[in-house]
Amino acid sequence: MPVIFDLDGTLIDSAPDIHAAVNRTLAEVGADPLTFDTVRSFIGNGVSVLTERVIAARALPQPHADLLAIILRHYNADPATLTVLYPNVRETLTALAKAGHALGICTNKPEGPTRAILAAFGMDHLFAAVYGGDSLPVHKPDPAPLLAAMAALGGGATVYVGDSEVDAETAARAGLSFAIFTEGYRKTPMADLPHDMAFDDFALLPGIVAQLMAMHA
């Protein structure tokens, strides 16, 4: 059974690096910084939407494309300085791969930084398919990137693992089983999000995947 993961707020806590890049950008254009919690709340729909939210928060006069380029320049300079893996992620991914599960990534983070982060944590070899927010003309919650990742991994019954409203909607639109990591960047109560399983520790995920596999057997 293929298992596909979101990245930010699911496998990695990248909000500190994103916050730093945003505030370096704001300093460069002469604007006041934003708080960590504010920037964290902007994460999930991709860097273009994050840029829109930064512009709105500070009523910036800069064109969207210009500010987006500055944010990406600061972020891409070193996307893994403050970013950390959530506990038990590395061990769980290794266990799933050893158990024969094909692993993939479907994230709204651009593909370049996604691959750079996976490489920085020595995990790039674990993923046979990586789809970022710019890999296709559309991005999540459009199901196309998730379905493309699933096809690249051989298709069939697949589990998507994410943390947010966007991930829940993407899985539902793709018709895939969805396991939600409750310690990520979600803003909506769990009861209001469609999901098959929920977990707060990655050590629980292999058991969840086994349960979902049994349901599809």
pLDDT in tens, 153-210: 999 999 999 999 999 999 999 999 999 999 999 999 998 999 999 999 999 999 999 9
**pLDDT by residue (tens digit) across 78-91?**
888 999 999 999 99
For residue 92, what pLDDT is reported?
98
pLDDT tens by residue, 106-143: 999 999 999 999 999 999 999 999 999 999 999 999 99
- Which pLDDT score, from 0 to 100, does residue 5 have? 98
- Residue range 46-65: mean pLDDT, rounded: 96
Where in the sequence of the chain do the CATH 3.40.50.1000 domains occur?
A: 3-13+83-216
Residue 217 has pLDDT above 70, yes or no: no
Is residue 44 predicted with pLDDT exceeding 90?
no
Q: Measuring CA to CA, which residue among 212, 1, 203 is closest to residue 95?
A: 203
Residue 19: pLDDT over 90: yes
| pLDDT exceeds cutoff 90 at 215 | no
**Distance (Å, whole) CA 93 – CA 98:** 9
What is the crossing angle of helices 47-58 and 15-28, to 10°?
50
pLDDT score at 78: 81
Catalytic positions are: 6
Residue 49, SS3 per DSSP: helix
What architecture is domain 3-13+83-216? 3-Layer(aba) Sandwich (3.40)
- pLDDT of 67-77, one tens digit each? 999 999 999 88
User: Is residue 213 predicted with pLDDT exceeding 70?
Assistant: yes
Residue 198's DSSP bridge partners are 180
Ranges in the chain annotated CATH 1.10.150.240? 15-77
Mean pLDDT of the chain: 96
Cα 56 from Cα 75, distance rounded (Å): 20
Which of 3.30.390.30, 1.10.150.240, 1.10.10.10, 3.30.1330.10 is the CATH number of 15-77?
A: 1.10.150.240
